[in-house]
Amino acid sequence: MTQEQFAARFGFSMATLRHWERGDRTPRGSALVLLKVIERNPQAVTEALA
C-alpha cells in the first residue's frame, strides 16, 4: 500500500506520515493507539471507519 492509500484509508495526512517515517516526529496519544490497532487488525479499523 502506498503512503497515499494508507493516509486515505486511515485518515492521516500525507505530511504527518512523512514526518513519522523520516523520524522528525513520533506518533503519540490516539494516533499511536490507532497505528497499533492498524498493525494488529487493519480490517477492524477499515470496518469501523466505513
pLDDT score at 28: 96
User: What is the per-residue pLDDT for 12?
Assistant: 96
Q: What is the pLDDT of residue 23?
A: 96
CATH class name, domain 3-49: mainly alpha
Give Cα separations from 21 to 26, 33, 35, 46, 48 (angstroms): 9, 17, 13, 22, 25
Domain segments of the chain: what residues?
Answer: 3-49
The pLDDT of residue 5: 95
Cβ atoms of 27 and 35 within 8 Å: the answer is yes
Task: Give pLDDT tens digits for 3-50.
Answer: 999 999 999 999 999 999 999 999 999 999 999 999 999 999 999 999
